[in-house]
Structure 1
Amino acid sequence: MELDANLKLRAFTVFLTVLLSSSIGPNMTFYYLKYFGSLWTGILLVIVSVAGFLGSLYGGHLADAWGRRPTMLVGAGLMITGYILATLANSPWLFQPGLTFFGFLIAMAGGSLADPADQAMMIDVSTPANRQFVFALIYWIVNIGVMFGAAIGGWFFRDYLFYLLLGMTFGAVINFLVIFLGMRETFTGQAKEQAKTVKQALRSYLTVLQDRRYTIFALGAVLSIVVYSQIDYYLPAHLTADFHTYWLWAQEIYGQRMLSLMMITNTALIIIFMGLINHYSTRWPLIFGFSVGQGLQGFGIALSFILGDFWPLILATLIWTLGEIIVVPAGQTIRADLMDPDRIGAYSGVFAVTRPIGTIIAGSMVSLSSLINKWGMAVIILIMTIAAIGLTVKAVNTPQKSK
């Protein structure tokens, strides 16, 4: 309750946004498959990813050129527009899957545009003393939103999509009003840049990439994302092929259900123990906390790849979840500390690029797994984990003058 008012409001909008997006977003793939087929679904998902990628890049530049609050308002406005189109396209008066996709494309671009400004504002109004706690708190709230949102979507998506979309539109309007009425501008750096062209944005990002410390850290972040993304990419394939069916309370647990149980276990542990564990881990030196967390997470995920029985996989889940709880706030705090305070938006935009790059690499490794089997995948994950830790340590220890 002692946090800056912007952070309190940000916590509320994060929960609302994640709750609504988690109830619909993950299920839209099934929607596209039903109405467009597998070929077009793949193409449409790539288009959405590219829109998010470009939106993040340009949004990071605008966060420094316009300021945090104006950029967030533009992004929130685009989200409202997109959700209104998607709602109308699935209403009792109109049904148009093509318009639904167009609406979600606009909403994705708006959300991605606003995200670097959101991140920059959090860094602006937090302090080195409370920053790790702030990131841990936001991550905890995100997991609560995901848990409830996934439950709502699983229960209502098929039969009540129109009402879910209405709720998402209403939530986007509330988000806009909270930013407009409640949040203040936090950009206090040098004079805002006047040029807002794509050329100027690219020039801004090239300048960020000349910061050797931050570039090394970003490379380590790509490897961290590759490691964690295997939970969504290779782990389902491994469980489908190698999990030994288990009966729990008269219910058959097969590969797909085991993955769901592992994710439920992960989310529940984060919600219950995030505060307790971070109460102690935040007292550690940042780089030590990052190394311990990243090491546990990578080891637990690699262990999941070579196990095929129920309880050993639950144990592996406990290990990588403990690592996740420790590494996320530590890593985000290190990222904030390495940024130029006058250009946080551009730095946030550059960091946004690491996620699509990491997920592309992670996806390609699923094809590679057919050649190197589960043991090879486990070894590669461990090597990437060690490399991610090494690059992050090198970034932190690189002198500031090497910018």
Structure 2
Amino acid sequence: MKEFLQLNRNLKLRMLTMFLVAILNSSILPNMTIYYSRYFGTMVTGVLLIMVSIASFLAGLYGGHLADVYGRKPVMIGGGLMIAAGYAIAATMNSPWLQDPHVTFVGFLIAGVGASGANPAEQAMIIDASTPQNRQYVYSISYWIVNISVMIGSALGGWFFRDYLFELLTGMIIVSVVNLCIITLGMKEIEHATEAVSNSLSSLLHAYQEVMTDRRYMLFLIGWVFAGIISSQPDYYLAVHLGADFHATTILGVHLYGQRMLSMVTLTNTIMIVTMMGLFTRISRDWSLAKTYSLGAALSALGFASAFVGDRFWPLIVSAIILTLGEMFVVPSSQTLRADMMNPARIGVYSGAMMAVNPLASIIAGMLVSASGLLGNWGMAAVMVLCGAASIGLVVKSARMPATY
């Protein structure tokens, strides 16, 4: 608690806004696929989700550039206004007086673009307000806070989304407005290194060209793509594997089948992070970041690999414990390494470049699901081990390289 109280005011407020935004996102967004499928069908829904992903990716790139041009706070305020406006449109179109799923999609698209556009500025503000000495602690506690809020948000969405969507969206408008007020009235722009740049398209392209010529950072990003392939598996092959191969059983009177077993893995993961993250932060405090990352990535890869060849309750719970141990080492160390590698004058753009990692990892994870018919469970387990080894090799190599900016 003492260490938390000593943090910069912006960091403490950022953790509060992170808590609110994660509740907002986790209560609504996971259920929107069901919403769109009900009104548009699965084929159109797929197209809509691709549109959202592309728009969010582009917004993240541009938002990172704007964070370097205008500063972090103005971009965060702009993103917050778009989020509030998007949810207001969506709520209006799902009210007792109006129902229009087409305009609802537009509302959520606006909110998604706002959130993605603000994300690099938010990441940059964390780096501006933290120090190399407390940065790993900051990322650890941030990750802990996000997991708590996701638990709350998921429960809210599960209980209220179907029957009380208007009321839920109204609540989310209030949350987004509160979040915007915290940013506007509470946070201060921190002086940061910058270079004279404009907001033109040519300046944007030049800025990201500079990032792509930073070999150290690009090696890290590629290594993080491999890590992203591993961490995304609950939404991809792990769900497929449990649905097809899990031996249904009854534990303490609760009948567990594939889908419920996936929820048990997720529940185990969340409970461990919420209750044990502080302990693991203290354990790894004096380790090198490369060592912490290597151990975490290895445990994550082995945890998912063992889950892919497991088909019964207790072995899968053990796998969930192993992969969660890895996650608690990987996330803070990787975020700290990433921050240390950024050019101080281009932190917004460097943060924006990170927006490409999750979409790319998701695409590859989806391709692996298609290939799993040929690879089988053991083949997919081997792929996880190879991804873990590749991630460790690339990240550790990048961590040992000197800065080129």
TM bin, normalised by shorter chain, reads: over 0.9
Give yes or no for the alignment of 1:138 onto 2:142: yes
Contact 1:58 1:198 in 2 (8 A): no
Q: Secondary structure at the match of 1:190?
A: coil
Counterpart position of 1:218: 221
- Offset of residue 364 of structure 1: 1.1
- Offset of residue 400 of structure 1: 2.3
Counterpart position of 2:308: 305
Counterpart position of 2:47: 43
Contact 2:192 2:344 in 1 (8 A): no
- Offset of residue 198 of structure 1: 2.5
Counterpart position of 2:92: 88
Q: What does residue range 372-383 of structure 1 map to in structure 2 within 5 Å?
A: 372-383=375-386
What's the CA shift string for 1:297-320, capped at 9, x where partnerless?
Answer: 111011100000000000000000
Q: Point out the more displaced range, 244-253 or 123-132.
A: 244-253
Q: What does residue range 27-106 of structure 1 map to in structure 2 within 5 Å?
A: 27-106=31-110
TM-score normalized with structure 2 length: 0.98
Give yes or no for the alignment of 1:353 onto 2:331: no
Q: Secondary structure at the match of 1:175?
A: helix
Segments of 5+ residues of structure 1 without an aligned counterpart are none
What's the CA shift string for 1:233-261, capped at 9, x where partnerless?
Answer: 00000001110011012221000000001
Separation (CA, whole Å) in 2 of partners of 1:66 and 1:375:
50
Contact 2:194 2:344 in 1 (8 A): no
Contact 2:28 2:161 in 1 (8 A): yes
Give yes or no for the alignment of 1:127 onto 2:131: yes
> What amino acid is the match of 1:98?
H
From 197, 200, 207, give the equivalent of 2:200: 197
Counterpart position of 2:367: 364
What's the CA shift string for 1:177-234, capped at 9, x where partnerless?
Answer: 11110111124213452x2122221110011111110011011011110111112100
- Offset of residue 283 of structure 1: 1.5
Contact 1:246 1:310 in 2 (8 A): yes
- Offset of residue 175 of structure 1: 1.1
Q: What does residue range 238-253 of structure 1 map to in structure 2 within 5 Å?
A: 238-253=241-256
Give yes or no for the alignment of 1:15 onto 2:19: yes
From 233, 237, 248, give the equivalent of 2:236: 233
Separation (CA, whole Å) in 2 of partners of 1:199 and 1:234:
40
RMSD: 0.9
Contact 1:68 1:187 in 2 (8 A): no
- Offset of residue 21 of structure 1: 1.5
Separation (CA, whole Å) in 1 of partners of 2:17 and 2:403:
35
Separation (CA, whole Å) in 2 of partners of 1:376 and 1:198:
44
Counterpart position of 2:177: 173
Separation (CA, whole Å) in 2 of partners of 1:262 and 1:192:
49
Separation (CA, whole Å) in 1 of partners of 2:401 and 2:15:
33
Separation (CA, whole Å) in 2 of partners of 1:108 and 1:294:
30
Counterpart position of 1:394: 397
Q: What does residue range 278-293 of structure 1 map to in structure 2 within 5 Å?
A: 278-293=281-296
What's the CA shift string for 1:67-119, capped at 9, x where partnerless?
Answer: 10011111111111111100000011100001111000000000000000000
Q: Point out the more displaced range, 265-274 or 247-256.
A: 247-256
Q: Percent identity?
A: 50
> What amino acid is the match of 2:145?
I
Contact 2:68 2:194 in 1 (8 A): no
Separation (CA, whole Å) in 2 of partners of 1:102 and 1:187:
36
Counterpart position of 2:186: 182
Separation (CA, whole Å) in 2 of partners of 1:70 and 1:173:
16
Q: Point out the more displaced range, 392-401 or 55-64.
A: 392-401
From 315, 319, 324, give the equivalent of 2:322: 319
Relative to structure 1, is the Cα distance of residues 217 and 191 closer, same or farther in structure 2, using a 3 angstrom cutoff? closer
Q: Secondary structure at the match of 2:163?
A: coil
Q: Secondary structure at the match of 1:252?
A: strand
Segments of 5+ residues of structure 2 without an aligned counterpart are none
What's the CA shift string for 1:24-59, capped at 9, x where partnerless?
Answer: 110111101111110111011101111111111111
TM-score normalized with structure 1 length: 0.98
Q: Secondary structure at the match of 1:247?
A: strand
Give yes or no for the alignment of 1:265 onto 2:236: no
User: Which stretches of structure 1, 4 residues or longer, exceed 3 Å deviation after superposition?
Assistant: none
Contact 2:195 2:345 in 1 (8 A): no
Contact 2:27 2:154 in 1 (8 A): yes
> What amino acid is the match of 2:386?
I
Contact 1:21 1:168 in 2 (8 A): no
> What amino acid is the match of 1:325?
M
Q: Secondary structure at the match of 1:90?
A: coil
